[in-house]
Amino acid sequence: MSKVREVEAPPSKSVSHRMVIGAALGVGESRLANVLESDDLKRTMDIMQACGARIERLGEGLYAISGVAGTPAGGFEEPVSCYVAESGTTCRLITAVLAAGLGRFRVHGAPRMHERPIGDLVMALRMLNVGVEWDGKTGYPPIIIDTNGMPGGEVNIGMDESSQYLSGLLLAGPLGKTLTINVTGNKVVSWPYVGLTLKAMEDFGHRFRVEMLEDEAWVEKDWRTIRNVVPGKTRFVVKPGIYHAGDYKVEGDWSNASYFLGAGAIGPDPVRISGLRSDSLQGDRAMLRILQDMGAKVEVEADAVTVHPSKLRGITVDMGDCPDIVPTVAVVAAFAEGPTTVTNVAHLRIKECDRLAGPAAQLAKAGVRVEVHDDGLTVHPAGRESIQAAAGTVFETYGDHRMAMSLALLGFAGVAVELDDPKCVGKSFPGFWRKWARVTA
């Protein structure tokens, strides 16, 4: 009988960002437990501290945070420097939150961050009469925010590129007068991440309504039941309020657990990942469904999942709600029988790297043909035994943490996975390689 490999899921990156921001905006001191300690979270914490919050590390993943009582403090002659490095989550959430502050802020990052668009969010803030100027290329960071607070009113925001624009406006909404946010654009991507934002807002005591247009009338809906968001027919009404201090714990991360879930399906031994809530709102919980659709044997407990080595088959899957696990699915698909096609993820081209072209190019080095489409990709596997790479092959991560962790799965085909930048996993999962050894040793 195969030995079951045991791994604990790291704290959720997405939830950690939202809880740190909420506590830093609050009145009084909050205690946050199980916070992810990664490069991206350091950026969020550093910015909130620069804007007046006090953050004290009490132990591993444990923080005491005294908030700014709803008003991030900017500069008046020189803007406060808000360096986001390569954290898109930090950039988009913080940009909206800082617009509810007082003074001047400069949001800037690493070179790749200055190639990732933020124009739709800036246009929305300008609709609310917040001063935002480009400090480089129009439509992209860096930007200068000059604000006297979030005035409230009505604003439109599209979700074609990212759900984080909406999440940022939602987090900022309670800090001003009543704010109505209309979802516009052509499509909605990454909707489950909005659910994580709404859950965080509820945890901190905020009031809001989610309404959908039915028969020319706005009807309030339970946001937990919403699965299909139609642009032009969905809006959010956020009431003024304060972020209440309290004690909060961050749940485990389904995104970063995806590599271990995949390892269970294609590796030699079952893998049990603990610390995962089976009722989580995280969109990347879809990894379970995808593996099951591919034929994997999965056992689900209240706070853990076990995946068993299985004979996998190719599938066609819409991953618009869970784009971060596309690189994982692409590598797992290389071990399946028959092609796997991923759709509705055109926005992956503007992530830390082009997460359509990147997996295709690197899987090709291991003998796997990947066809890239306008909105997705198709993996054409030729059998596990055909997954091979020449001695000395170096796989490129493009500095992208999700590329590095997903490519590690090629090792289960006997490929010596040498990465050009293995340390880039520190962006979201600094302990990845130590935990990865538990399923490969």
User: Quick one: pLDDT at residue 229?
Assistant: 87
Answer whether residue 42 is part of any domain.
Answer: yes
Q: Provide the residue type at 270 as one letter.
A: P
Q: 226 or 297: whose pLDDT is higher? A: 297
Domain edge (last residue) among 238, 273, 305: 238
- pLDDT band at residue 189 using 50, 70 and 90 as cut-offs: confident
Average pLDDT over residues 330-348: 96
Sheet strands side by side (includes 316-318): 316-318, 340-343, 377-380, 369-372
| Each residue's pLDDT tens digit, 402-417 | 999 999 999 999 999 9
Same domain, 189 and 327: no
Same domain, 272 and 199: no
State the residue range of the domain holding 224.
Answer: 5-238
Q: 335 or 348: whose pLDDT is higher? A: 335
Answer whether residue 99 is part of any domain.
Answer: yes
Q: Quick check: pTM over 0.75?
A: yes
Measured over the CA atoms of residue 291, residue 296, residue 300 and residue 305, the dihedral's sign is negative
Same domain, 329 and 268: yes
Of all residues in the chain, what percent carry a pLDDT higher than 70? 100
Neighbours of 62 (CB within 10 A): 14
Answer whether residue 320 is part of any domain.
Answer: yes
Same domain, 72 and 174: yes
Measured over the CA atoms of residue 30, residue 35, residue 37 and residue 41, the dihedral's sign is negative
Same domain, 188 and 67: yes
Same domain, 71 and 207: yes
Specify the CATH number for the domain of residue 321. 3.65.10.10
Same domain, 43 and 96: yes
| Each residue's pLDDT tens digit, 21-74 | 999 999 999 999 999 999 999 999 999 999 999 999 999 999 999 999 999 999
User: Quick one: pLDDT at residue 83?
Assistant: 98
| Each residue's pLDDT tens digit, 386-396 | 999 999 999 99
Answer whether residue 349 is part of any domain.
Answer: yes
**Residue 39 a catalytic site member:** no
Average pLDDT, the chain: 96
Same domain, 356 and 313: yes
Write down the catalytic residue from 253, 324, 375, 420.
324
Eight-state DSSP code of residue 356: T
Answer whether residue 333 is part of any domain.
Answer: yes
**Total structural domains within the chain:** 2
Same domain, 77 and 186: yes
Average pLDDT over residues 114-132: 96
Neighbours of 441 (CB within 10 A): 6
Domain edge (last residue) among 238, 271, 287: 238
Same domain, 173 and 300: no
Same domain, 345 and 403: yes
Same domain, 186 and 291: no
Domain edge (last residue) among 188, 209, 238: 238
- pLDDT band at residue 1 using 50, 70 and 90 as cut-offs: low
| Each residue's pLDDT tens digit, 360-374 | 999 999 999 999 999
* Tokens 């802020």 sit on residue: 105
Distance separating alpha carbons of residues 285 and 304, to the nearest angstrom: 12
Give the residue among 252, 238, 153, 166 at the shortest CA–CA distance from 204: 238
Alpha carbon dihedral 232, 233, 239, 241, in 10-degree steps, equals -80
Evaluate whether 103 touches 147 at the Cβ level (below 8 Å): yes
Evaluate whether 236 touches 209 at the Cβ level (below 8 Å): yes
Average pLDDT over residues 258-278: 97
pLDDT at 2 over 80: no
Give the residue among 286, 341, 292 at the shortest CA–CA distance from 315: 341
* Tokens 């991440």 sit on residue: 193
Give the residue among 140, 147, 137 at the shortest CA–CA distance from 97: 147
User: Quick one: pLDDT at residue 350?
Assistant: 84
Answer whether residue 379 is part of any domain.
Answer: yes
Answer whether residue 204 is part of any domain.
Answer: yes
Answer whether residue 247 is part of any domain.
Answer: no
